[in-house]
């Protein structure tokens, strides 16, 4: 007689004992292979009396099917486990902190000075209660100019040498020449009041020199609330200046013209090279220009549907790269884009 029960019981036990795919395939060939126990049982069928053979054959088929099903189940179980183990082994710890000493000696990188500067500026403004917002680098003519009270063919467009994008109709698209269009995007949402800074990359068709880059960075600021005055603007700029550059660096405002603010001003800070005494960098004046600012023009409020009878606001915008230059005494701004590691490693 063929002992089907033991064949099935032993086979099932071996299959579930297989600890990995390799072991499982060995067990499988031990059971189902040419010299396996099922094949041996099959050969024994021939020795049975014809009346027993049919029943035994059916039994053998049933046992074989059940063992095959168990094999398939165990195989997919072990495959899942193997995949999970491989993933665990491949996992990178992206939270690992590399100490500066190791970083420098192995040549691993770090955040670029401009990024560090942007982060530090954001921290200062967040500390003053501002939120941080961002907008796209390619803008339509409407956001970059028109909504900012600069209609087509307005002479003020000459203040920004613009890269135009050839995207075709329906609208003219540009690489934003300043971060001011993000003001429009924020006000358009209609959620007032607003106290936000908007850092980002800007583009101008300028030839790079010691103080200008064609691809550069600005931080825009916008406050829209009830009863906002020019004094709030001046106070905000002075607070930011001393917080970021140090308590011996101050700010002053000089009348200027921008289409989107009225009145407008340029803001200057104490020259960080000579600390106000007068030097070549500041042309002997003791002051360095950092950016523009002013009270939001009613025409801008009108473009975005903010009621100027109820709300008033101020805005400002200045260069991040220029801040890095002033704070670290970088004589030529082009060093920020040249990727010379001897320069980058200093920060």
Binding site for ligand DAH (CB under 6 A): 178, 180, 220, 258, 261, 264, 291-294, 315-317
- Which CB sits closer to ligand DAH, 200 or 292? 292
- Which CB sits closer to ligand DAH, 139 or 220? 220
Which of 153, 314, 144 shows the shortest CA–CA distance to 222?
Answer: 314
Closest approach, Cβ 109 to ligand DAH, in A, equals 30
Closest approach, Cβ 301 to ligand DAH, in A, equals 13
Closest approach, Cβ 199 to ligand DAH, in A, equals 13
SS (H, E, C) the chain: CCCHHHHHHHHHHHHHHCCCHHHHHHHHHHHHCCCCHHHHHHHHHCCCCHHHHHHHHHHHHHHHHHHHHHHHHHHHHHHHHHHHHHHHHHCCCCCCCCCHHHHHHHCCCCCCHHHHHHHHHHHHHHHCCCEECCCCCEEEHHHHCHHHCCCCCCHHHHHCCCCEECCCCCCCEEECCCCHHHHHHHHHCCCCCEEEEEEEEEECCCCCECCECCEEEEEEEEEEECCCCHHHHHHHHHHHHHHHHCCCCCEEEEEEEECCEEEEEEEEEECCCCCCCCCCCCCCCCEEEEEEEEEECHHHHHHHCCCCCCCEEEEEEEEHHHHHHHHHCCCCCCHHHHCCHHHHCCC
Phi first, then psi: what are they for 282, rounded to 5°?
-100, 15
Closest approach, Cβ 318 to ligand DAH, in A, equals 7
Closest approach, Cβ 152 to ligand DAH, in A, equals 18
Which of 205, 215, 242 shows the shortest CA–CA distance to 319?
Answer: 215
Q: In Å, how far are 51, 113, 126, 150, 253 from 142, measured between CA atoms?
A: 94, 32, 29, 9, 29
Closest approach, Cβ 295 to ligand DAH, in A, equals 8
- Which CB sits closer to ligand DAH, 74 or 217? 217
Residue carrying the six token digits 């880059």: 213
Report the phi/psi class of residue 73: left, alpha or beta, with left for phi > 0 and alpha for psi in -120 to 50.
Answer: alpha
Closest approach, Cβ 84 to ligand DAH, in A, equals 53
Closest approach, Cβ 307 to ligand DAH, in A, equals 20
Answer whether 62's CB lies under 8 Å from 70's CB.
no
- Which CB sits closer to ligand DAH, 74 or 322? 322
Closest approach, Cβ 292 to ligand DAH, in A, equals 3
- Which CB sits closer to ligand DAH, 149 or 270? 149
- Which CB sits closer to ligand DAH, 180 or 325? 180
- Which CB sits closer to ligand DAH, 37 or 264? 264
- Which CB sits closer to ligand DAH, 288 or 293? 293
- Which CB sits closer to ligand DAH, 11 or 291? 291
């Amino acid at each position: 007689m063929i002992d089907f029960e033991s064949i099935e019981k032993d086979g099932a036990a071996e299959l579930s004992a297989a600890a990995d795919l390799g072991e499982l395939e060995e067990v499988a060939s031990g059971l189902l292979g040419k010299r396996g126990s099922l094949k041996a049982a099959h050969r024994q069928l021939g020795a049975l009396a014809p009346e027993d053979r049919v029943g035994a054959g059916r039994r053998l088929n049933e046992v074989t099917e059940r063992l095959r099903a168990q094999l398939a189940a165990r195989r997919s179980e072990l495959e899942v486990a193997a995949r999970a183990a491989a993933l665990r082994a491949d996992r990178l710890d992206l939270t690992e902190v590399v100490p500066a000493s190791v970083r420098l000696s192995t040549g691993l990188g770090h955040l670029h000075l401009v990024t560090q500067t942007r982060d530090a500026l954001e921290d200062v403004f967040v500390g003053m209660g501002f939120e941080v917002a961002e907008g796209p680098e390619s803008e339509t003519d409407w956001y970059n100019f028109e909504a900012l009270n600069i209609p087509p063919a307005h002479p003020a467009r000459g203040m920004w040498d613009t890269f135009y994008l050839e995207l075709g109709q329906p609208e003219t698209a540009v690489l934003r020449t300043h971060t001011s269009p993000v003001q429009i995007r924020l006000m358009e949402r209609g959620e007032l009041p607003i106290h936000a800074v908007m850092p980002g990359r800007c583009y101008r068709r300028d030839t790079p020199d010691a103080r200008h880059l064609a691809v550069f960075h600005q931080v825009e600021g916008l406050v829209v609330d009830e009863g906002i005055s020019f004094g709030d603007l001046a106070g905000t700029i002075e607070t930011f200046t001393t917080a970021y550059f140090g308590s011996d660096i101050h700010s002053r405002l000089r009348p200027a013209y921008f289409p989107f603010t009225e009145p407008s001003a340029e803001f200057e800070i104490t020259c960080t090279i000579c600390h106000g005494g007068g030097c070549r960098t500041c042309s002997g004046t003791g002051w360095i220009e950092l950016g523009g600012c002013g009270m939001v023009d009613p025409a801008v409020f009108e473009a975005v549907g903010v009621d100027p009878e109820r709300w008033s606001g101020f805005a400002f915008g200045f260069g991040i790269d220029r801040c890095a230059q002033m704070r670290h005494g970088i004589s030529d701004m082009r060093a920020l884009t040249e990727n010379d590691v001897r320069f980058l490693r200093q920060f």
